[in-house]
């Protein structure tokens, strides 16, 4: 099947073409069947590839396929290469699997929308792009996918383009991502200049061979690449587009802005682990940015009232944890968390979508409540997902997040761990705040609650199962084996040599005990967060109000998201616009064009003046002859 891995890409692309050229004529049923079908088949092919890879010896699990020569100009040669190795296949499984479920969900969620065909065209295009991103065998193919998912994100955020906020949010997302991609593109150029190639394999082995740890050049490359990652994966300072991206349809938020696209940065950093491990500085930057984002975004999530925005800040925060994992050198763990996060965060969004759908578009959690009995499937799914993200044993998020904290403790010490733990506490708190406000208590909304159709419930159940048990593939304490880490180990084999050097090695027995005890601590933190939320929002609902009044200033800073949007607006956006206008009105129109028109004016004036010499009147000529003669005479006589 590996030979036919191109099908993974070709199928969704065929879906795009089919929707564009046939979808209009053949109607909605065709669009639904085609769009879901191609992605489903793509998932099947991915599974086949995964199984085939699994059947090989671990060291040989690497398959490259050159499809065509894309660029050839002098020494600059880029192939269209597909790369299947454990990392990309794992990503492919997650992407195509979650994408399939969300396609199915969308057939129910978008059923009444007039842009149905357009929606599925974009969604298929997104799936194609995201799969290109993860399967690309060199930096430029990766970059193609990278930009193309950005495009789909732009189109889907602005899907309801009649609404100005949606159109604005789409544009903002694209431009903020472009700023990050500026760094990414320069990083690619620097890689080419340094290594003379953009193929992953050659670059990574070249880096290992040619550069010592701590080399400035590699640090530069790694930091430039990471700049791209901060844009795509919504990290400080380029995260501001993601909360606004919630203007898009909710399934889009689930697929693109939670489960897959935003994790592209994490994937890219993990893919380039060979470069990052050579630069302790770059790794430290990744870890610091990740940790700061994790805590920062979680703190904003504590007080927001828009259901989807809370989830958006939660996504930003969880992405921070993934980068933290990469930054401490535990790339496999970062990818593991990426995977579990894809399950439970997609689920959270899909439930949110079901709730919003049921309440005819209401997103404000202060106007919900009491939905537990009316939407049982949604409630139980949300509960599972919330337990998973909070990190309660044995749900998926527990294994991955606990491991991130554990690795952090091992490699960066207790202080960094403590910060990460505070973030985890906040995560548990805001997630159960949502749960209690939306599903418990009394109903604060009016009108009929629509029951979700089957196409919406099915994906919820599938993802709920995955969120519940998906973490078991990485539970060494239970099975003695960490399947994800083992599977990914060929990709990250060079990491251990570099990063492990910095860890304090201790006795194996001591390790097990302390990892176990730390796991207990993790769970306790999660439970503490849940209990706090229960106390605040179920037992004594007046507490939040009192706290709000007591800490009014802190509350308003958090509620207004630290005013970062306003600060960016004042510092960058408005100066740019007024500078551009000034440049046009003053420099271009007045100075540059003024000089051009001025020279024309000078010529015209000069000729107007000199025209007076040629009046055609004989008297004038006679007069000037006389005056001239007198002048000459006077000159001669008075000399």
Partner 1 sequence: MTGEVMSQVPLITVVTFLPLLGAFLIALTNPGRVRFIRTVALVTALVDFAVCVPLLAGFDVSTPSVQFVEKHAWIDAIGSSYHVGIDGISLFLVILTSFLTVLSIGASWTSITHRVKGFMVSMLILETGMIGVFVSLDLLLFYIFWEAMLIPMYLIIGVWGGPQRIYAAVKFILYTLAGSLLMLVAILALFFIHHGNTGEYTFDLLKLYGTAIPGGVELWLFLAFFLSFAIKVPMFPFHTWLPDAHVEAPTAGSVLLAGILLKMGTYGFLRFCLPLFPRVSLQAVPAIAILAIIGIIYGALVALAQRDVKKLVAYSSVSHLGFVMLGLFALNTQGVEGGILQMVNHGISTGALFLIVGMLYDRRHSRMMEDFGGLWKRMPVFAGFFLIVTLSSIALPGLNGFAGEFLILVGAFMKNAVFAAAAAVGIILSAVYMLWMFQKVMFGEPRDGDGEEQSAAQKHGSVFFDIGARERWILVPIVVLIFWIGVWPGFFLSRMHASVDALLETVRNANAAPVESVEEAASRGLPTLTRQLMHGGEEDSEGASQGASQEVASAMEPDTQADEGGE
Q: Which residues bind partner 1 (CB under 8 A)?
A: 20, 68-76, 118, 140, 143-144, 146-148, 151, 154, 158, 161-162, 164, 167-168, 171, 174-175, 178-179, 182, 185-186, 189-190, 192-193, 576-577, 579-581, 583-585, 588, 592-593, 596, 600
Closest separation in Å from C-beta 244 to partner 1 = 14
Closest separation in Å from C-beta 80 to partner 1 = 9
For partner 1, the closer of residues 60 and 75 by Cβ is 75
What is the torsional sign of CA 120, 124, 127, 133? negative
Nearest to 349 by CA among 470, 465, 256: 256
Place of tokens 């002048």: 631
Q: How many Å apart are CA 437 and CA 430, to the nearest integer?
A: 10
| Cross-strand partners of 84 | 63
For partner 1, the closer of residues 80 and 334 by Cβ is 80
For partner 1, the closer of residues 139 and 313 by Cβ is 139
Closest separation in Å from C-beta 496 to partner 1 = 33
End-to-end CA distance of the chain: 109
Q: Give the C-alpha distances (Å, rounded to integers) separating 230 from 60, 182, 199, 252, 265.
A: 33, 11, 23, 20, 7
For partner 1, the closer of residues 142 and 324 by Cβ is 142
449 DSSP assignment: P
For partner 1, the closer of residues 562 and 584 by Cβ is 584
34: tokens are 């085609």
Closest separation in Å from C-beta 565 to partner 1 = 17
For partner 1, the closer of residues 159 and 331 by Cβ is 159
Angle at 62 between CA 56 and CA 64, to 5 degrees: 130
Place of tokens 């470069």: 275
Torsion from C-alpha of 300, 294, 516, 399, nearest 10 degrees: 90
| Peptide bond connecting 237 to the previous residue in cis, omega within 30 degrees of 0 | yes
**With contact defined as beta carbons under 8 Å apart, do 412 and 402 qualify?**
no
Angle at 244 between CA 240 and CA 245, to 5 degrees: 105
Closest separation in Å from C-beta 124 to partner 1 = 15
For partner 1, the closer of residues 69 and 213 by Cβ is 69
Closest separation in Å from C-beta 573 to partner 1 = 10
Closest separation in Å from C-beta 211 to partner 1 = 18
Q: How many Å apart are CA 55 and CA 597, to the nearest integer?
A: 76
Closest separation in Å from C-beta 183 to partner 1 = 9
Q: CB neighbours (10 Å) of residue 2? A: 15
Q: How many Å apart are CA 259 and CA 349, to the nearest integer?
A: 10
SS3 76: strand
What is the torsional sign of CA 66, 69, 70, 76? positive
SS3 77: strand
Q: How many Å apart are CA 556 and CA 370, to the nearest integer?
A: 28
For partner 1, the closer of residues 19 and 32 by Cβ is 19
Closest separation in Å from C-beta 587 to partner 1 = 8
Closest separation in Å from C-beta 168 to partner 1 = 8
For partner 1, the closer of residues 373 and 605 by Cβ is 605
For partner 1, the closer of residues 94 and 185 by Cβ is 185
Q: What are phi and psi of 504, to 5 degrees?
A: -80, 110
Alpha helices per DSSP H over 489-592? 493-499, 508-534, 543-550, 552-559, 564-568, 574-582
Closest separation in Å from C-beta 23 to partner 1 = 12
For partner 1, the closer of residues 3 and 604 by Cβ is 604
How far is C-alpha 409 from the chain's CA centre? Answer: 27
Q: How many Å apart are CA 308 and CA 147, to the nearest integer?
A: 25
Q: How many Å apart are CA 302 and CA 56, to the nearest integer?
A: 47
For partner 1, the closer of residues 184 and 492 by Cβ is 184
SS3 38: helix
Closest separation in Å from C-beta 164 to partner 1 = 6
For partner 1, the closer of residues 122 and 296 by Cβ is 122
């Amino acid at each position: 099947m590996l030979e036919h891995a191109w099908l993974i890409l070709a199928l969704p692309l065929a879906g795009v073409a089919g929707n564009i050229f046939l979808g209009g004529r053949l109607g909605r049923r065709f669009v639904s069947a085609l769009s879901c079908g191609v992605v489903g088949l793509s998932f099947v092919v991915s599974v086949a590839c995964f199984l085939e890879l699994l059947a090989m010896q671990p060291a040989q699990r690497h398959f490259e396929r050159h499809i065509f020569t894309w660029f050839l100009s002098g020494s600059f040669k880029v192939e269209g290469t597909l790369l299947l190795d454990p990392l990309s296949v794992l990503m492919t499984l997650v992407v195509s699997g979650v994408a399939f479920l969300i396609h199915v969900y969308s057939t129910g969620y978008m059923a009444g929308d007039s842009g149905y065909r357009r929606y599925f065209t974009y969604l298929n295009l997104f799936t194609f792009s995201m799969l290109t991103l993860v399967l690309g065998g060199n930096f430029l193919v990766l970059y193609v996918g990278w930009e193309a998912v950005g495009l789909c994100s732009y189109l889907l955020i602005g899907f309801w383009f009649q609404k100005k906020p949606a159109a604005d949010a789409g544009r903002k997302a694209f431009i903020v991502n472009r700023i990050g991609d500026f760094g990414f593109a320069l990083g690619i150029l620097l890689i080419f200049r340094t290594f003379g190639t953009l193929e992953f394999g050659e670059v990574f082995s070249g880096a290992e061979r040619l550069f010592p740890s701590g080399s400035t050049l590699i640090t530069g490359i790694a930091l430039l690449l990471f700049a791209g990652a901060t844009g795509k994966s919504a990290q400080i300072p380029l995260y501001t587009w993601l909360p606004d991206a919630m203007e898009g349809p909710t399934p889009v938020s689930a697929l693109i802005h939670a489960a897959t696209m935003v994790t592209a940065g994490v994937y890219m950093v993990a893919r380039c682990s060979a470069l990052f491990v050579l630069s302790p500085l770059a790794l430290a930057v990744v870890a610091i940015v990740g940790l700061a984002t994790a805590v920062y975004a979680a703190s904003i999530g504590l007080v927001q009232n828009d259901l989807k925005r809370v989830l958006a800040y939660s996504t930003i925060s969880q992405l921070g944890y993934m980068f933290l994992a990469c930054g401490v050198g535990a790339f496999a763990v970062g990818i593991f968390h990426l995977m579990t996060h894809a399950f439970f965060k997609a689920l959270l969004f899909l439930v949110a979508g079901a709730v919003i759908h049921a309440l005819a578009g209401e997103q404000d959690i202060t106007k919900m409540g009491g939905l537990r009995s009316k939407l049982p499937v949604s409630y139980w799914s949300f509960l599972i997902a919330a337990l998973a993200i909070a990190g309660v044993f044995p749900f998926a998020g527990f294994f991955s997040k606990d491991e991130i904290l554990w690795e952090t403790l091992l490699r960066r010490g207790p202080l960094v761990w403590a910060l990460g733990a505070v973030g985890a506490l906040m995560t548990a708190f805001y997630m159960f705040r949502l749960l209690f406000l939306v599903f418990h208590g009394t109903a604060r909304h009016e009108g009929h609650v629509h029951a979700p159709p089957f196409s919406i419930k099915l994906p919820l159940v599938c993802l709920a199962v995955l969120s519940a048990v998906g973490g078991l593939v990485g539970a060494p304490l239970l099975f003695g084996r960490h399947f994800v880490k083992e599977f990914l180990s060929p990709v990250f084999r060079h990491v251990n040599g570099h990063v492990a050097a910095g860890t304090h090695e201790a006795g194996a027995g001591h390790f097990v005990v302390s990892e176990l005890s730390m796991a207990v601590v993790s769970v306790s933190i999660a439970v503490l967060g849940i209990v706090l939320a229960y106390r605040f929002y179920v037992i004594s609902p007046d507490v939040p109000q009192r706290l709000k009044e007591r800490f009014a200033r802190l509350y308003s800073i958090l509620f207004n998201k630290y005013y970062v949007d306003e600060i960016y607006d004042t510092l960058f956006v408005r100066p740019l616009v007024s500078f551009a206008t000034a440049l046009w009105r003053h420099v271009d129109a007045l100075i540059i064009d003024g000089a051009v028109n001025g020279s024309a004016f000078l010529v015209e004036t000069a000729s107007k003046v000199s025209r007076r010499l040629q009046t055609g009147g004989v008297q004038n000529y006679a007069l000037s002859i006389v005056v001239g003669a007198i002048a000459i005479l006077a000159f001669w006589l008075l000399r």
